[in-house]
């Protein structure tokens, strides 16, 4: 129990379960009043039940904290407005926004439907815009705010997740741009690469991950811990895959002291905290005149991309 967030008000989307829940609980312990938003939907975005958010609120209150439930859908602009309004109406301000809510609709790109694309971008990326757009209004008035959008290492490339990679890396660009735009108003903005065994990760069959690994398709992110088949998510409690592990670095970034970090991508999974480099120019070729294609046919493979790995080399089809 601490007082690092005493007098602060936090809105945590997707905090009825998983990673969001652990953050809501720790922020409440640190003194914040928390709006626990959870649509309570199924992982594919359908349905809706009010229980998960209310259970988290009840737990926070039982421990002596302040919290209220919100059942809005982050993909809806007006629902996001209502979440922010609820924070201001009930607790007088909004200091912290964590957009954690997410869904998965994995599919190889050539089979992906428009509905699968739209649904994933709506919750993750549009949800980030919807919540940030409304949250910046009280934050700019206060000249204070802490915003974290929960991205994913899958934004660095992950076979079968074209929609999720687009949404998640889009959130990184959004956060880096906002950090500079909102810095003068005392608002820090970062993107998080979280981790942990949750309903969401459990929904990706480990068999399909193993299949891709065997085919030599490498992901762009940091090496992942070996996939364990947590048929029961409770089995992850107390291990590096415990979703609660994300809460201390996330809560710290949302404290006043956390303002020293803004515009960064921070990894919070497991028993570690990491800072990721942005993509940066590591090699270059230069010409005082426009390149010809013929010159590039020589210079690019022999200089610019020499030694660079193909993350998914061609597999020769078997003769049938």
State which of positions 7-46 bind another protein (CB under 8 A). Answer: 26, 30
Structure token digits, residue 28? 């409440």
CA dist., res. 261 & res. 16, Å (int): 27
Measured from the CB atom, the residue of 207 and 293 that comes closer to another protein is: 293
Half-sphere exposure of 8 (CA within 13 A, CB side): 27
| Three-state DSSP class for residue 92 | coil
Instruction: Please select the residue that binds another protein; options are 61, 133, 199, 224, rule is CB under 8 A.
Output: 133
The neighbouring-strand residues paired with 256 are none
CA dist., res. 185 & res. 102, Å (int): 28
Measured from the CB atom, the residue of 64 and 184 that comes closer to another protein is: 184
Tell whether residue 110 is a contact of another protein (CB under 8 A): yes
Strand 145-150 relative to strand 187-193, pairing: parallel
Instruction: Please select the residue that binds another protein; options are 62, 214, 302, 317, rule is CB under 8 A.
Output: 317
Least distance CB 158 / another protein (angstroms): 6
Question: How many positions of this chain bind another protein (CB under 8 A)?
Answer: 123
CA dist., res. 143 & res. 19, Å (int): 28
Cα distances (angstroms) measured from residue 218 to each of 49, 86, 209, 270, 275: 37, 44, 10, 21, 21
Tell whether residue 169 is a contact of another protein (CB under 8 A): yes
Least distance CB 240 / another protein (angstroms): 9
CA dist., res. 217 & res. 157, Å (int): 10
| Three-state DSSP class for residue 307 | coil
Instruction: Please select the residue that binds another protein; options are 96, 174, 194, 195, rule is CB under 8 A.
Output: 174
Contact 95, 61 (CB under 8 A): no
| Three-state DSSP class for residue 309 | coil
Strand 66-70 relative to strand 33-37, pairing: parallel
> Hey, which residues between 283 and 302 contact another protein (CB under 8 A)?
283-297, 300-301
> Hey, which residues between 213 and 272 contact another protein (CB under 8 A)?
215-220, 222, 242, 244-245, 247-249, 251-253, 257-267, 271-272
Measured from the CB atom, the residue of 173 and 205 that comes closer to another protein is: 173
Structure token digits, residue 10? 């936090």
Find where tokens 């929904």 sit: 203
> Hey, which residues between 43 and 102 contact another protein (CB under 8 A)?
77
Find where tokens 């204070």 sit: 144
Least distance CB 260 / another protein (angstroms): 4
Instruction: Please select the residue that binds another protein; options are 56, 178, 200, 233, rule is CB under 8 A.
Output: 178
- Residues with active-site annotation: 164
Instruction: Please select the residue that binds another protein; options are 310, 318, 319, 320, rule is CB under 8 A.
Output: 310
Contact region with another protein (CB under 8 A), list: 13-21, 61-69, 86-94, 181-189: 181-189
Least distance CB 298 / another protein (angstroms): 10
Instruction: Please select the residue that binds another protein; options are 45, 138, 170, 195, rule is CB under 8 A.
Output: 170
Tell whether residue 211 is a contact of another protein (CB under 8 A): no
């Amino acid at each position: 129990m601490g007082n690092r967030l005493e007098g602060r008000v936090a809105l945590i989307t997707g905090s009825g379960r998983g990673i969001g829940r652990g953050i809501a609980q720790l922020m409440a312990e640190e003194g914040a009043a928390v709006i626990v938003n959870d649509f309570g939907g199924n992982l594919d975005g359908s349905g809706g039940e009010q229980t998960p958010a209310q259970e988290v609120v009840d737990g926070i209150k039982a421990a002596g904290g302040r919290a209220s439930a919100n059942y809005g859908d982050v993909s809806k602009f007006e629902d996001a407005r209502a979440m922010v309004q609820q924070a201001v109406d009930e607790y007088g301000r909004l200091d912290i926004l964590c957009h954690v809510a997410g869904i998965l609709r994995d599919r190889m790109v050539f089979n992906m439907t428009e509905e699968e694309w739209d649904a994933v971008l709506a919750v993750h990326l549009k949800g980030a815009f919807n919540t940030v757009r409304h949250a910046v209004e009280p934050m700019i008035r206060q000249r204070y705010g802490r915003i974290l959008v929960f991205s994913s290492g899958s934004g660095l490339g992950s076979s079968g997740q074209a929609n999720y990679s687009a949404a998640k890396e889009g959130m990184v660009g959004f956060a880096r741009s906002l950090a500079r735009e909102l810095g003068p108003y005392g608002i820090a903005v970062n993107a998080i690469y979280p981790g942990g065994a949750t309903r969401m990760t459990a929904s990706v069959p480990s068999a399909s991950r193993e299949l891709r690994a065997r085919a030599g398709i490498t992901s762009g992110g940091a090496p992942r811990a070996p996939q364990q088949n947590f048929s029961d998510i409770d089995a992850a409690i107390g291990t590096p895959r415990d979703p609660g592990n994300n809460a201390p670095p996330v809560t710290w970034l949302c404290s006043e002291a956390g303002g020293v970090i803004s515009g960064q991508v921070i990894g919070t999974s497991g028993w570690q905290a990491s800072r990721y480099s942005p993509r940066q120019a590591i090699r270059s070729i230069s010409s005082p005149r426009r390149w010809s294609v013929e010159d590039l046919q020589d210079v690019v493979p022999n200089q610019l991309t020499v030694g660079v790995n193909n993350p998914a080399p061609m597999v020769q089809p078997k003769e049938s």
